[in-house]
Amino acid sequence: MAATHAEGVRSAVRRGGREGLATLGLLAGPVGWQLVFFVAPVGLVVAYSVGVLAFASDEARFTLESWAYLFRGPLYLGLFWKSVRISLIVSVAAVALAYPLAYLLALGGLPRRYAWMLFIVAPAWTNYVLRVFAWKVILGEGGIVNSFVLWTGLTDEPVRWLMYSEFAVIVVLTNVWVPFVALPIFVAIEGMDRALLEAAGDLGAGRWSTFWRVSLPISLPGVFAAFLFVFIPTIGEFVTPLFVGGTGGFMFANAITDLFGPGLDWRTGSVLATFLLVVVTALIVVLARALRLEGMGLAR
């Protein structure tokens, strides 16, 4: 009896060991990938930001001078807050445009709603650079908008602030993100319990009252997720401002690319990159916690 029990224990230990090795083998690839292509590069950037590593003629010594310059001078912080403002505008505009589309497809009773959703998302399959250059054709001095304005006689010269400005960056980024924003909102609304809407109608609530008191609160987690989905990548955007922003649409990430590129100031560039990473990570943690509390019914 004791021998049988001991053998069972040894068998369980061997089985547990094999399962542990199998789990370790499955995790080795993803964990190794993250260590090599994320943790290590971020560590190098942090090391450059504090002077432990140096580029070209810089002396490798621990220093926080670049960090002090970031918080002491208005140049980069002002550019950062400008990027935050643009990201907020783009995020709010994208959500505001995508929500009615998602709501109509989810609750509008349209036939083949998934085909319509596919039609909305289809432009996102086009090459990103091609879409940006298409907006240059639309907003440029000789573009569609200016040609129409001149043809109608509304103005005698092209409207130059349409292109190479903050306005152009906001318009292009909003257009780029609307298809992606519609998806999480559509999923949140489609998963809504229709019985709640019927109950609101039975209690005498009109369409607008039902929307404000039932539909919108239930879909808010999807709206917040969509907002976060746009805001985080937009605050680090540099391609669109490079093509259509000009000096007026210059953003924080453009300063980072210039410092690592033509400026050859890797220390300051690393400071800005680390600062942006810390801010975005903190934002993700705060909003993820808020969404979790909202889902648990604890947030008010």
What is the predicted pLDDT for the residue at 169? 94
Please list the rounded mean pLDDT of every run of 10 residues in the chain (300 residues).
52 54 73 85 88 74 85 87 94 92 76 72 79 87 84 82 90 90 82 74 74 80 85 90 88 92 86 92 80 52
CA nearest neighbour of 88 among 161, 162, 165, 177? 177
What is the predicted pLDDT for the residue at 299? 41
Q: Over the chain, what is the mean pLDDT?
A: 81
CA nearest neighbour of 275 among 60, 43, 46, 36? 46
As separate numbers, helices (DSSP H) first and strands (DSSP E) second, the chain gives 14, 0
Q: What angle do CA 234, 216, 213 make, to 5 degrees?
A: 150
For domain 71-296, the question of CATH label 3.40.50.720 is answered with: no
Q: What's the sign of the alpha-carbon dihedral 211, 215, 217, 219?
A: negative
Distance, C-alpha 253 to centroid of its chain = 14
Distance, C-alpha 150 to centroid of its chain = 37
Tell me the C-alpha distance between 299 and 266, whole Å.
42
Sequence-ordered list of residues with C-beta below 8 angstroms from that of 157, at least 6 positions apart, any chain: 150
Q: Which amino acid is at 17?
A: G
Report whether 238 contacts 253 (CB < 8 A): yes
* 87-103: pLDDT as tens digits: 999 999 999 998 888 88
Q: What angle do CA 172, 290, 35 make, to 5 degrees?
A: 75
Report whether 145 contacts 159 (CB < 8 A): yes
**Residue corresponding to tokens 């290590």:** 40
Tell me the C-alpha distance between 135 and 142, whole Å.
12
